[in-house]
Structure formats: structure tokens, C-alpha cells
Amino acid sequence: MSAVPVPYFLVLAAVLFLIGAGGFLLRRNLLVLLMSIELMLNAVNLTLVAFNRLHPQSHGGQIFAFFVVAVAAAEAAVGLAIVLSFFRLRNTVRADEANTLKN
Amino acid sequence: MSSFLVALAPLLVVGLGGLLLMLGEAFAHRERGGSGPSADLAIGSFVTLAAGAVVAFSLWLVGPENLGGAAGVAPFLIIDRFTLFFDIVLCVGGALAALLAGGYLPEHKLDRGEFYPLLIFSTLGAMVLASAGDLLSLFIGLETMSLGVYALVGFRRGSARSAEGAVKYFLLGSFAAALLLYGGAMLYGATGHTDLAGIGAALRGGTLTGADYGLAIVAMVLVLAGLAFKVSAVPFHMWTPDAYEGAPTPATSFMAVAVKSAAFATLLRVLVSAFGDPASMSWGTGWPPVVALLAVMTMTVANLVAGRQESVKRMLAYSSIAHAGYLLVAVVALMTQPGIAQGSILFYLLAYTVSTAGAFGALILCGSRGKEAVSYEDLAGIGHRHPVAAAAFALFLLSLTGVPPTAGFFAKLYVVRAAIGGGFLPLAILLLLNSVVAAYYYLRVLVYMYMREPAPGAPVAAPMRSGYVTAALLICAAGVMLLGLWPTRSLELAIDAALAAR
Amino acid sequence: MERYLPILLLFFVAAVVAGVIYAVAIFVGRIPKGGPVNLDKERPFECGNPSDGASTLRPTVKFYLTALVFVVFDIEAVMIYPWAVKFSALGWNGVATMGSFIALLVVALVYVWRKGALEWEK
């Protein structure tokens, strides 16, 4: 059985990253923005693990991915808490409603 | 075996102190009720962070090269004079913010104990970030620092502005972190290393194949963009004014001071250790023109916009962006004069820390009873109503303007000297022009404080009095004057701390 | 220029695929539903009973709090798995390291408990 070549993973990761970045820039729902960021982080994980196959002398890439997963969870928790408190005050999760600070 | 504990002593002191305070706050809260927790926690946080600074300073005196354990934690954490210098700057910034919070939080009915552990752990993250010699520890430090600060920005739970600032800061900050991380993953793919020194060696060795080299360049752009967000360089600055204005003022001071210093520390380390090879450092094929462009845009845009602000806090936010621009000028000078440029950056950050924390502290003193002094009108006549706060504010603003003999003057002088010595005369001239523009809006505050009276019938807040804030102002004022009157010794220390460019 | 070609190609392909996915998503979202609106068909299915009450119930904030705490503690297992795989190779040094990691988690748990985030009723 032949393994899937590494560049396939890299392209997939780049697609995921661009979908995430595009979602971040185009969408207006705060929860969707949070999900876009998570998608970008997962694309990074995929890139790291794929590159680890090109550098098999250590498991640096895979270990890095573990840490990214753990930190992303903490980030999601803080992000959800912030969005929740925003929702409590403004009764909306739309990003374009966040405009009281314009000067 | 345990010698690495000595090398990590500053981090351990701050981390364990933070844990103890956190537990103490959780257990004390239910027994008492009644008076707020700020009084004990502000002192406790100040002592913890000051102890961190003292321990870092004693390691400096011992000499990090004499510490056996320093090698044991490399490359994840690099314990050198550069790290220790930043440990001191960051601990001072955090300790000042803790003092400011001790006065600010009870006055504005925000007296909840979570503020202090968040502050301490953010400082810890900033210290890890400043000492990180590997992309992994860099990322963890960055996120530890940022997650705490996101929560601090949203600390005013009843305020829509605070929540909005936190949302913007969180979203853009995590986006920047994701960009940085993607760049880091590419660097790993191109070079097979996650430690900065290994990446630097691979780039310098010239053994990279064409595609790998291209990948490294794309990665460099992504990493630079991610770090530019963190130092709030134009055009990655959109979150800064909103987050700074929405945050409680002590948190604003912490962001302006410690977060920015840590971001510059890691920017320097990445540029010198990882992208320090001759090709990356040259004007034609490397990062200097990009950073120069960032510097020019940052200085100019921030100063022009700052002059149009009606809110003093927002003006200070734009002013902190402008200072990031001045610092980027010195970063460009790394190209030709690594030692002197780094020394000037470190000195600048020290001077900027005491001046900015002091300015925010004086701003805190000018408002009271849940109302912040936000607009220029609020400050009218404060020179008569609260002479101490006004005098302190004036001193720190003069330092930020760069008037001799304050710390800010020498900080600017050294940066300009590094830029001219490095052969970047146009940048130096632009910096001076921008300083003149900046003087307009700094001095405008002085005009309002001393030469205007509040409009008849306007609500005048009685300025608050707080021992904590006054103590913080005294420390800052002492720092501003010491650095201003004896700058050469501090500059020598700063140059000692510079990273060796190889 | 040649050295950048593979990377350019990578991003070009990725951008095209991502763009196509976005275009399809937007296109599908805009297709009008065929036929007239059938109220009976649009109604949520509840075992034949006519549905009652508001369809957007707001769950209590306790759910969010518990979920947040769960996510943070749960994901820390990611650090423990690799340690468990290499347990014997790491020896007592590994035990001490993981012990301090877990001690940190315990401190966080105690904090959460003292703050009352674990109390469902109150």
C-alpha cells in the first residue's frame, strides 16, 4: 500500500487555511468567526503533521500539533466566554453591531 | 539536576506567587464578604512581581553564563542577559499595573479578585515569550499572555464598550496568532527545525533547496505579519484603540507596556536568531524594507490620527502605536548596527514603560466615582483641583514627547543615533518630524490641565486619591528622572543585554 | 522566480479550491426553494403533537460554564497520552514532570470549585 504523498496534505491544509481566513474576513457572525479561527489552527496542525513526515528524525511537528490543540481549546473557551458576555449586553452575535467605539 | 530551577527562578517566583494568590483569593472570598479583595491582592501581586524583578536582577549580577542549568532548558527557554533584561522590564510593568488596579478597581466598583491572577499569569506568559528560543515555547508564551489580556480587556462585565473591545482584540489577536503559527509550520517544513537557532543555521547554511527557500520566505512574511499585529504596527493596528479604550485603565497600561515590550522582545529574537542570515538581513532580499515600510506607516498614521482624538485614553492608545513605529525604526537599524540598535530599543522600552504606566496612572487619578476622565474637557482645570496628579501627568507627557532631561528624550536620541549611524537618515528625519507632530497632542493635554477652566455647569468629577496609584506614580517618576539624568549607565546595561548577532 | 513556483502553485490550487467551495456555498444558499411554502412541511416534527411554545429556548448560562470548564480540562488529556506511551522510557523524571503538570490542574480545579462554578443548583 503506498502512502498518500505529502504535497496532497499540504494542499488540503492550505485549502482549509484559506477557507478559514476567507470566513474570518467575509462572515459577520461572531461564532462563525470563532469557528474560522479554529479551522485555521487545524490547518496548521495538518501542515505540521504532514511536514513531520519529511523530517522523520524527530517528532517535533507532531508534538507541536498536540500543543496547538491544547492551546486552541483554551483559546476557544476564552473566546466563547467573551462572545457570551458581548451577547448578554448587546443581544446579538453580529460583528457589524460592534460599533460603539467608533470615533 | 535541579540547577535548571535556578535558571528558571524568575518564572517560578512569578508563577508560584500567582498560584498562591489565586488560591488565597478563592478561599478568602467566602469567609469575609464585605470589603473588596483588592487591598490584599494588589500588595500581594506587587510583591510577587517585584520579587520576580529582583530575582532576575540577581541572576543578571551572577551572570547567566555562570548558571549551569541554563543549558538544560535551551532551546525552549533561553536564559541570557536579553531575557533577564526583559524579565525586569515586564515585571516592573506588571507590578505598576497591579498598583494602579489597587486604586482603580474599588473606585469603579470592579473590585473582583480575578484581575490580579490574570495579570500575574499574563506577565508570566510575557516572560516566557521574551525568553522563548523555540517556536513552540514562543507560541505558548504568546497565548498565555494574550488569553489573560483578552479577559482583562473584557473585565468590565457591565460595559458594552469593554465587551466590544475584548471581542475585537480576541478575534484579531487569534487571527494573528494563526498567521504566525502557519508561518511557523512552514518554517518547520522548510528547515526541519522548530528552534530559532536551528532555523537560522539552516537559512545561513545555504543548503536549502529552491522550493524550501521559497517556503521560508513566505513563512517569514506570515511570521512578520503575526508579530506586527502584536506590536500593533499600522496596518495591523485596528484593534488597538478599541481594546485600549474599552479595557479598564490598569489593564490598558499593562497592554501598552508589558504586552508591547514582550512582543518587541520576541520580534528581536526572531529577526536576529532565525532571520539573521546575511541574505535575510540585506536591503534587497530580506525583511528590512518591509519593517521600514511598517515603521513609516505606523509613525505617520498613528500621529496624524492621534491628534484628532477627543478622548485622552484613545489619544494615548494611538500614541502607543506611534511609539511602536519609532521602535521599528531602530529594528531596521539592526541590519547594520545590531548591538547599538538593540541597546537603543531596550533602553527605549524601559523609558517607555515608566512614562506610559505613569501617564495612565495620572489619568486614573483624574477621574473618580465610577467615571473616568476620558475627554480633554474632563481634564480642564485639573491643575488647580488636583495639582499632584496634574504635575505627574505633565512630567510623563513631557517624557513621552521627548523633552530633556526626561527618560523619553534620551530614548528618542539613542534611537535616532542608531538610525543615523546605521545609514537610515530619511527614517531618522521622519521620526523627528513625527515627534514634532506628537508634541501637539501631548502639549494639548497640558494646555487643558493648566490653562482652561471647566465649562460652567459641566459636571466636574472630584479627583480620586489613592495610596496605591500615588505609589505607582512615584516609582514611575523616579524612573523617568533617573533614566533622564543618568542615561549612559542604563544604555550600557541595555547594550550588554543585546543578542549576539552571528 | 523558480524557487517560488511550487509555493505559488500550492497557494493557487488552494485558493481556487477554497474559492470554488465558497462560490458553491453562496450559490446553494441563494437557490429559492421550489414550490409554494407548505406550512405543515416547515413545522418542526414532534411525534405528531402540535408544537407548543417558543422554538428558540435560551438555555441557562450554567450549560456554557460547565461546557467551558469541561473543554479546558478534557483537552489536557492530549498531554498525558504521549507521556503514557513513553512512560517506562521517561522514568522517575517523567513521573515528576507529569506530577507537577497534574498538580497545576488540581490547583485550577480547586479554584473552579471554590468559585462555585461546579454547583449546578443555586
What's the CATH code, domain C2-114? 1.20.58
Question: Using a CB-CB distance cutoff of 8 angstroms, which residues of chain C are in contact with residue A17?
Answer: 14
Beta bridge partners of B375: B311
pLDDT on residue A103: 43
Question: Using a CB-CB distance cutoff of 8 angstroms, which residues of chain B are in contact with residue C7?
Answer: 211, 214-215, 218
Alpha-helix runs per DSSP H in chain C? 5-30, 39-42, 61-75, 77-85, 87-114
How close, in Å, is residue B191 to chain C by CA atoms?
Answer: 15
- Give the number of other Cβ atoms within 10 Å of residue A89's Cβ: 16
Mean pLDDT, rounded, of chain B: 89
Q: State the count of interchain CB pairs (< 8 A) between A and B.
A: 122
Asked if pLDDT for residue C33 goes beyond 80, the answer is no
pLDDT on residue B335: 87
Please state the domain extents for chain B. 287-502
Q: What is the pLDDT of residues B57-103, one digit of tens each?
A: 999 998 888 877 777 787 899 998 999 999 999 999 999 999 999 98
What pTM did the predictor assign?
0.92
A71 close to B (CB below 8 A): yes
Asked if pLDDT for residue B172 goes beyond 50, the answer is yes
Q: Which three cell numbers stand for residue B374?
A: 476620558
pLDDT on residue C11: 81
Q: What is the pLDDT of residues B344-370, one digit of tens each?
A: 999 999 999 999 999 999 998 887 666
Question: Using a CB-CB distance cutoff of 8 angstroms, which residues of chain A are in contact with residue C18?
Answer: 15, 18-19, 22
- Give the number of other Cβ atoms within 10 Å of residue C77's Cβ: 10
Of residues B413, B392, B387, the one with CA closest to residue B491:
B413
Of B135, B143, B161, the CB nearest to A71: B143
How close, in Å, is residue A2 to chain C by CA atoms?
Answer: 22
What percent of chain B is modeled with pLDDT above 70?
95
How close, in Å, is residue A17 to chain C by CA atoms?
Answer: 9
pLDDT on residue B502: 46
Evaluate the CA torsion angle A65, A70, A75, A81 in order and state its sign.
positive
| 3-state DSSP of B72-89 | HHCCCECCCHHHHHHHHH
Q: What is the pLDDT of residues B312-322, one digit of tens each?
A: 999 999 999 99
A55 close to B (CB below 8 A): yes
pLDDT on residue B35: 59
Highest mean pLDDT among B402-406, C25-29, C39-43, C48-52: B402-406
Please state the domain extents for chain A. 30-96
pLDDT on residue A99: 65
B175 close to A (CB below 8 A): yes
Please state the domain extents for chain C. 2-114
Asked if pLDDT for residue B187 goes beyond 80, the answer is yes
Evaluate the CA torsion angle A76, A80, A82, A83 in order and state its sign.
positive
How far are the Cα atoms of B459, C28, C29, C37 from residue C32, in angstroms, in the given order?
57, 9, 8, 11
Per-residue pLDDT, averaged over B231-244, amounts to 90
Per-residue pLDDT, averaged over C44-63, amounts to 69
Of B26, B27, B214, the CB nearest to C6: B214
Asked if pLDDT for residue B33 goes beyond 60, the answer is no
Asked if pLDDT for residue B501 goes beyond 60, the answer is no
Q: What is the pLDDT of residues A46-102, one digit of tens each?
A: 999 999 998 888 888 999 999 999 999 999 999 999 998 888 888 777 777 766 655
Residue from B31, B147, B215 whose CB has the most chain C CBs within 10 Å, to mutate:
B215
pLDDT on residue B65: 81
Per-residue pLDDT, averaged over B179-194, amounts to 93
Q: What is the pLDDT of residues B253-299, one digit of tens each?
A: 999 999 999 999 999 999 999 998 888 888 888 899 999 999 999 99
How close, in Å, is residue B23 to chain C by CA atoms?
Answer: 6
d(CA B207, CA B198): 13
Which letter does DSSP use for residue A4 in this model? P
A18 close to C (CB below 8 A): yes
Q: Would you list the DSSP string of B8-56?
A: THHHHHHHHHHHHHHHHHHHHHHHH-SS-SHHHHHHHHHHHHHHHHHHH
How close, in Å, is residue B223 to chain A by CA atoms?
Answer: 13
Q: Residue C119 — pLDDT band, cuts 50, 70, 90?
A: confident
Per-residue pLDDT, averaged over B106-116, amounts to 86
A74–B147 C-beta distance less than 8 A: yes
